Amino acid sequence: MNATAAYQRFSLFVTLLCVLAGCGGSGRIVVSKDLNIPSQTDTKIPFRAGLKLMPEFTGFVYKPTSNAAPVIMGDVLRTGSETVCRNIFDEVVLIEPTSSRALQIDVIVIPTCQGMEYHVVDRATIRVRSRFLWRIMTPDSKEIYSTTVIGEAVRKVSTTVMASTMEREQGEVYFLSLQDQFRKAQNDLHGGGWWKNTWWKQP
């Protein structure tokens, strides 16, 4: 059975139980933004970085299937991206996507969510993978460095028929997957060594 079919059967089972039990939730899953992304280095990249968060990124909503509760991720994506950049760069400024104002920056950082994967391992276990592309650009939009980062989390969940409990537990799995991704991205962006060769700054 593929992941989509498994999720649909799992959701149908829970929905039927909730109808019979009269339980209900909010109808959506809001992922917490209270991430724990500690800095892993004492040596920051000596650049002033502009973090560019596109509207489709900060407004990202994921639905595993058409009848599933939407997963709201905008706040956690913004918080995680800012934390990663502030942990690794000397200075960080936020760039509005529609702004044409010239900024005194060395590089631009653009994170993109390429997709989420929700898997029902069994009735009591779910797994979430998050796939992100991180690009480092020059101020005139030449690519310096890019890396694809995959975060993953597997969690046991209760078999309760309370929709509110299910929403909370599923939200925690998405949260852990995203936190894993941001931690890995931080290590990749700093450890990639791209910033030690400043070829793009040469006249």
Model pLDDT, residue 20: 34
Domains of the chain in start order, with CATH, are: 3-37+44-192 (3.30.160.150)
Enter the pTM of the model: 0.82
Q: Which of 2-11, 75-84, 107-116, 138-147 has the lowest mean pLDDT?
A: 2-11
Per-residue pLDDT of 97-155, as tens digits, reads 766 566 789 999 999 999 999 888 887 788 999 999 999 999 888 999 999 999 999 98
- Report yes or no: 120 and 75 within 8 Å, Cβ to Cβ: no
- Report yes or no: 71 and 61 within 8 Å, Cβ to Cβ: yes
Q: How confident is the model at residue 16 (pLDDT cuts 50, 70, 90)?
A: very low
3-state secondary structure 84-118: HHHHHEEEEEEECCCCCCCCCCCEEEEEEEEEEEE
The total of other beta-carbon atoms located within 10 Å of residue 181's CB is 25
3-state secondary structure of 202: coil
CA distance 203 to 200: 8
